Amino acid sequence: MQQDNKRHVPDWLLERLALGELDAETAADLRRRLAAEGRTPDEIAALVAASNREILEQLPATPTAAAIKRRAERAAAAARPARKRVFLWSAPLALAGVAAMVLVARPWQPQVGDAPCDFRGPDGECINIKGGDIHPATLPRIYLYRHGATRDERLRDGARATRGDLVQLAYGSHGGGYGVLLSIDGARKVTMHWPEKQDGDAPALKATGETRLPSAYELDDAPAFERFFLVRAATPFSIATALDAARALAAQPSARKQSLALPPGFEQISLALDKAPAASKEMP
């Protein structure tokens, strides 16, 4: 404990002490360490209070809070018309009242078998895995769910979707490895879904049957299709490799059907949604 008392008391913990948010044991420990430094909690509290006053004089609460709210509104507005990530806890509210109408407007119509795939998975997904034995039970998988007001709907390749649909992306990779999840659309755009960064190396995949991404994804008004890819390799690879291949494919007229042009050693699994016009509110 004596050695512990000699340790610098981090400002982080002093802030928390001044707020009164620390548990009793931690607070008592900090008081002991402060005493060893010849300081007291009262002195710290006085310093923090003086700093608080000075800052609040420079940046008063009412206008600063108003500026923060405006910034938050701008950020929300900027995200609204375009594709955006929607955290799961907000999804049920966002969809309540509209999902059912959208779903009945265009019944699901599977369209599989028209892509140059090595073979198709259980959901009709296109699987291109070259150079190795195929074990169906351990194949990498990509899963798509559409959030509904009461339940999620698992989507197959070729399922109809429309602007505003909230889709949840998941992957399965019993063999672990490294991977990224991205999509291309009929507007020739590429969207990274996981990880969010676009540089560095692809992160490790969880060696499980199904792992959902932390956020859902709202389809925008891009026409024709949204095609999701899981790009996987057994060893780490640059995210740029997958992104560059996706950008190249997205620019092609055959982007809905063709495979990503990836170097040997990569696996790719894709599942496409066919876009339909948004249902109008007058529809039954």
Partner 1 sequence: MALDVESHYLRYGPMVLRRCRTLLRDPAKAEDAMQDVFVSLIRHEDRLRDEAPGALLLRVATNVCLNRLRGEKRRPEDAHEDDELARRIAHADDGGGDAESRTLARSVLGKLFGADDPLAASTRSLAFMHLVDGMTLEEVARESRLSVSGVRKRLRVLKGRLAELEGV
Binding residues for partner 1 (CB under 8 A): 7-8, 10-13, 15-16, 19, 21, 26, 48, 51-52, 55-56, 59, 61-62, 64-65, 67-69, 71-72, 75, 87, 89, 199-201
For partner 1, the closer CB: 24 or 61: 61
- Residue with tokens 């400002």, as numbered in its chain: 11
Give min distance, CB of 23 to partner 1, in A: 9
Give min distance, CB of 7 to partner 1, in A: 5
For partner 1, the closer CB: 8 or 151: 8
**Distance between CA atoms of residues 199 and 60, nearest Å:** 39
- Tell me the backbone φ, ψ of residue 215, rounded to 5 degrees: -135, 155
For partner 1, the closer CB: 55 or 104: 55
- Tell me the backbone φ, ψ of residue 22, rounded to 5 degrees: -80, 150
One-letter amino acid identity for 269? I
Give min distance, CB of 41 to partner 1, in A: 16
**Distance between CA atoms of residues 149 and 103, nearest Å:** 11
Give min distance, CB of 181 to partner 1, in A: 17
Give min distance, CB of 281 to partner 1, in A: 27
- Return the closest-CA partner of residue 220 out of 42, 63, 50, 80: 80
Give min distance, CB of 87 to partner 1, in A: 7
For partner 1, the closer CB: 21 or 118: 21
**Distance between CA atoms of residues 238 and 271, nearest Å:** 22
- Tell me the backbone φ, ψ of residue 131, rounded to 5 degrees: 75, 65
For partner 1, the closer CB: 22 or 98: 22
Q: What is the dihedral of CA 217, 222, 223, 229, to 10 degrees?
A: -50
Angular region, 80: left φ>0, alpha ψ -120 to 50, beta rest:
alpha
DSSP assignment of 104-151 equals: HHS------S-S--SEE-TTS-EEEE-SS---GGG--EEEEEEE-SSS
For partner 1, the closer CB: 30 or 159: 30
For partner 1, the closer CB: 25 or 133: 25
What is the CA angle 211-222-282, rounded to 5? 100
CA 268 to the chain's CA centroid = 19
For partner 1, the closer CB: 65 or 82: 65
Give min distance, CB of 201 to partner 1, in A: 5
Q: Which residues contact 256 (CB under 8 A, 6 or more apart)?
A: 115, 186, 224, 225, 227, 272
Give min distance, CB of 175 to partner 1, in A: 22
